[in-house]
Each structure stands twice: as C-alpha cells, then as structure tokens.
C-alpha cells in the first residue's frame, strides 16, 4: 500500500494524539513500578534475605490483588467507547459500578492474602524467607481497599483523557513512599526501625495518598467543567456489573496468568538459595520497570482504540492499534540495548553483594533478549482490550506461560539443575511466543474491525470468531 500525503498526515496526527496520551500514562506506570524498585533498593542494604522476603511477598500479594485490577480493566472499553459516543451519563454509571465492585472485592482478596504465609510453608519455600515475608505480606493486605479505589478512579480519568493528574499522583506518591521507607525501615524522624515491615507501611501510606489525590482531582474537575457526575444518583446495576465481569474476567485471567507465571517461578526459585532468590527479585524488578513503558502505551492504545470504536471510526481504531504496537516495540528496543550494555551498574543500584551481582548479570542478558517481544505483547493486549476482545489474550497467556513457559522453566531449573537461569529461559520463550501469537490475533481482529460499516454495533458486542 502506497502512503499518499493525506494518509501520511493522518498517521502523523494519530501518532501525535497517541503519544500525548501514552507519555503521561507511561510515566505514571513507571512511577508505579518505581515504588517497588525503591522498596527493594531500600531493604537491599539490610541483607540478601531482606530482598528475598520483600520480593517474594510483593510478587505474591501483587498477583492476588491484580485479580481485582483486571476486573476493573473492563472500565477501559466501556468508558472510552461511551466517551467517544458522547454519552457522559454512561461514563458516570460505569464509574459507580467500579466503586461497588472495588468494595465487594476487598475482603475476599485480603483474606486470601492473609493465608499466604501458611501456604508457602506447604510449598517447601525456604522457611527463613517465608518467616521474614509473613508480616510484610499481611501488612500490605491492609492497603487493599485504597489500592482498588485508586485503580477504579484511574480507569475513569484515563478513559476521559485526563492523564496528567494520574502522572503527577504517581510521581508525588513516590516521594511519600521513599520518605516513608527511609523513616520506617531505618528508624529516622524519631520513628522505630521496623526493617522490611516499615516498607509495607510506607507502601500503604502511598496508596491512601493516591486514592485521595485522584478523588480530589475528580471533584475539582467536576466543579470546573460540570458533567453531571454528582447529579447522577449511584445505584447498583446488575446488568452493567455482568457486562463488566464479561469483559473483566478474561482481562483479570490474563493478568493472573502472566503475573502468576512469575509468581510461580519466584516460589520455585525460593527452594534454591537466598542469593538466587535475591538476584531473581532484583532482575524481576528491572524487567517490571521496563515493562511499565509498554504497559502505559498499551493502556493509551486501549483508550484510543475505544474512543475510535465509540465514534464508529473503525479505520482509525485499527491505525491506532498498529501505531501503539510500533511505538511499544521502538521503546523496548532501546531498553534492551541499555540493559545489555550496563548490567553491572543497574545491579549496583540494588545491592553491593558480589554473589547476587554475579548471578544477576547473567539474568539481565536474558531480560535484554526478550524486551522487544515483551513490548509487542503488552501493547497488542491493550489494542485488543480497546476493541472489546479480552478472551483472546487470556487464552494465549494460558498456552504460552502455563503450557510451555513455566513447565519448561521448572524442568530446566530444577530437573536439569540450571538453577535460576533455567526458569528465566522458560519465561523468555513464553514471552516470545506470546508476542507472535498476539500479533496474529490483532491482525485478524483489526481486519474484522476495518471492514465493518459505521452503523454496526460496538466491536465489544461482536463475537471474535477468527
């Protein structure tokens, strides 16, 4: 296909619109991930055991609470498509149902988290690490409600293109978290030295701040530009909640399968030494940090595709999806180069333990290898979500991670004694396969979207039978 001047102008305009949305969202995701990095770096100067315990606890808690996050991702296509169609009352209605859903999820997720330490002992995880991680996990559980409400308010603002307040909230929350870590881990400002437990309290404080910040933004925005949010009485809508679960359960399943794969690897690596687990946790932190960039681009892509679908501009929805994938691939190619060239300086940010650095440097080269594919699979998932297709990503995550990646990693790591490197090789193969299969899926879905007449119903209501 030859690109004419008008087509190039359209692509430039849509790329600019996507970038203006993606950059603040990516910075917000980066800010979110940085809180974990700061926690790990702060406790890293205590001991390798401290890194291992906070890493294990953080990964397991995050995996559980991301089930709730995944359900709330259903707000992305619903609000974005309603906003694209100019239906603000429907945007408000979805926000109300998201708040109800957050309240309903809090106690079950907290209960599951509270039981985790006992389960770890039955999985033969290093008992010393488990004992240190138990209070950390249980204190993190206390911040579940503000975390879910933050996620709900963020989805609403993001779908309405109000992304700069989200970015500022995360950046300032990092300051609160870092100060809290410094004061509570080491006992500054007259506070007791709580060790790794102090990091959990600092994290909870930052979560409450995030919830209150976004709530204040919505209140002030409504006063400045009224949309009728506070004139619309919230009421429980079972039909809308079913619609959210229809979209959210596959999205939540996809996140659980992806994060669960890394959590399972963390638990199995916990059978090895504290040094291996510490190196794994540091490298996982690095991979999560770089992952935040395509995650932000993917969220922006989901909103952009949803807006285009809402206004029945299906060709624009397809172009936005492909532009997002290209942007994610470009960013992660740069990330791969930086990780490959500077593994030791990166590791020294976290620890000075020579044993941990020796193991971690090899793992970082594996991470550098799959960066491009991680970017592609993350943004493609966002494009599919914006089109209303969440089951495809869940099924492909199940296949790539749990049928191939995790079993292969466990076999290489434990049976063939490759240790922590074997686990990461299995996960790396899963990410590569996932990127390739999701690209094929988006190709078929995009072709379906592009050929639909403008009078057709929303893509979210069209069965994806490719």
pTM of the entire structure?
0.74
Q: Is residue 289 part of a domain?
A: yes
Greater model confidence, 221 or 463 = 221
116's tokens: 């985790």
What average pLDDT does the chain have? 84
User: Is the confidence at residue 465, as pLDDT, over 50?
Assistant: no
The lowest-confidence range among 62-71, 93-102, 147-156, 392-401 is 62-71
Does 379 fall in a domain? yes
pLDDT at 61 over 80: yes
Q: Tell me which range, 67-71, 153-157, 254-258, 354-358, is most confidently predicted by mean pLDDT.
A: 153-157
User: Could you give the angle at the alpha carbon of 342 between the alpha carbons of 336 and 343, nearest 5°?
Assistant: 90
Confidence (pLDDT) at 209: 96
Does residue 1 carry a pLDDT above 60? Answer: no
The pairs formed by 455-459 with CB atoms below 8 angstroms and a separation of 24 or more are 455/312, 456/312, 458/81, 458/309, 458/310, 458/388, 459/309, 459/314, 459/317, 459/387, 459/388, 459/389
Q: How many structural domains are present in the chain? A: 1
User: Is the residue at 197 inside a domain?
Assistant: yes
Q: From CA 70, how far away is CA 404, in angstroms rounded?
A: 23
Residue 466 lies in a domain: no
Give yes or no for a contact between 427 and 265, defined as CB atoms under 8 angstroms apart: yes
Q: Dihedral sign, CA of 51, 52, 58, 63?
A: positive
Is residue 248 within 8 A of residue 207, CB to CB? The reply is no
| Of 461 and 398, more confident | 398
Please report, rounded to a whole number, the percentage of residues in the chain having pLDDT higher than 90. 33
Question: Cβ contacts of residue 325 below 8 Å, gap of 6+?
Answer: 301, 376, 379, 380, 383, 439, 442
**Is residue 287 in a domain?**
yes
Distance separating alpha carbons of residues 398 and 404, to the nearest angstrom: 9
Range of the domain at 181: 5-461
Q: Tell me the C-alpha distance between 129 and 277, whole Å.
A: 10
- Asked if the structure places residue 159 within a domain, the reply is yes
Rounded to an integer, what distance in angstroms lies between the CA atom of residue 251 and that of residue 437? 17
Q: pLDDT digits over 383-435, tens only?
A: 998 888 888 998 999 999 999 999 999 999 888 878 889 999 999 999 999 99
């Amino acid at each position: 296909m030859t690109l004419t001047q008008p087509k190039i102008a359209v692509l430039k305009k849509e790329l600019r619109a996507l970038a203006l949305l993606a950059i603040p969202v990516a910075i917000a995701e980066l800010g979110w991930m940085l809180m974990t990095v700061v926690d790990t770096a702060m406790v890293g100067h205590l001991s390798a055991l401290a890194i291992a315990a906070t890493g294990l606890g953080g990964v397991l808690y995050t995996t559980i609470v991301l089930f709730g996050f995944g359900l709330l991702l259903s707000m992305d296509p619903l609000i974005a498509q309603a906003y694209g169609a100019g239906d603000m009352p429907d945007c408000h209605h979805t926000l109300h149902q998201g708040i109800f859903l957050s309240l309903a999820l809090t106690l079950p997720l907290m209960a599951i988290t509270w039981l985790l330490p006992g389960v770890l002992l039955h999985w033969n995880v290093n008992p010393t690490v488990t004992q240190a991680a138990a209070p950390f996990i249980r204190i993190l559980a206390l911040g579940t409600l503000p975390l879910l409400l933050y996620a709900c308010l963020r989805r609403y603002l993001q779908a309405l293109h109000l992304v700069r307040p989200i970015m500022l909230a995360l950046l300032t929350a990092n300051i609160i978290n870092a100060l809290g870590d410094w004061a509570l881990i080491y006992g500054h400002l007259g506070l007791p030295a709580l060790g790794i437990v102090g990091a959990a309290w600092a994290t909870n404080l930052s979560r409450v701040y995030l919830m209150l910040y976004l709530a204040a933004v919505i209140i002030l925005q409504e006063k400045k530009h009224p949309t009728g949010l506070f004139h619309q009485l919230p009421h429980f809508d079972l039909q809308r909640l079913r619609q959210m679960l229809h979209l959210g359960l596959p999205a939540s399943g996809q996140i659980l399968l992806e994060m669960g794969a890394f959590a399972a690897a963390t638990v199995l690596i916990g059978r090895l030494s504290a040094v291996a687990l510490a190196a794994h946790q540091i490298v996982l932190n690095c991979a999560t940090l770089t992952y935040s960039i395509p995650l932000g681009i993917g969220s922006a892509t989901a909103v952009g595709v949803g807006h285009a679908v809402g206004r029945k501009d299906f060709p624009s929805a397809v172009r936005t999806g492909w532009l997002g994938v290209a942007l994610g691939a470009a960013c992660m190619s740069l990330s791969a180069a930086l990780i490959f060239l500077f593994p030791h300086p990166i590791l020294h940010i976290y620890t000075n333990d020579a044993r941990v650095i020796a193991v971690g440097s090899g793992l970082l080269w594996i991470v550098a290898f799959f960066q491009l594919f991680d970017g592609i699979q993350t943004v493609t998932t966002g494009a599919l979500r914006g089109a209303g297709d969440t089951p495809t990503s869940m099924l492909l995550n199940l296949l790539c991670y749990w049928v191939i990646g995790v079993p292969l990693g466990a076999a290489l790591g434990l049976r063939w004694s490759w240790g922590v490197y074997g686990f990461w090789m299995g996960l790396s193969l899963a990410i590569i396969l996932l990127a390739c299969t999701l690209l094929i899926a988006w190709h078929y879905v995009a072709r379906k979207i592009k050929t639909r007449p403008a009078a057709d119903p929303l893509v979210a209501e069209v069965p994806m039978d490719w």
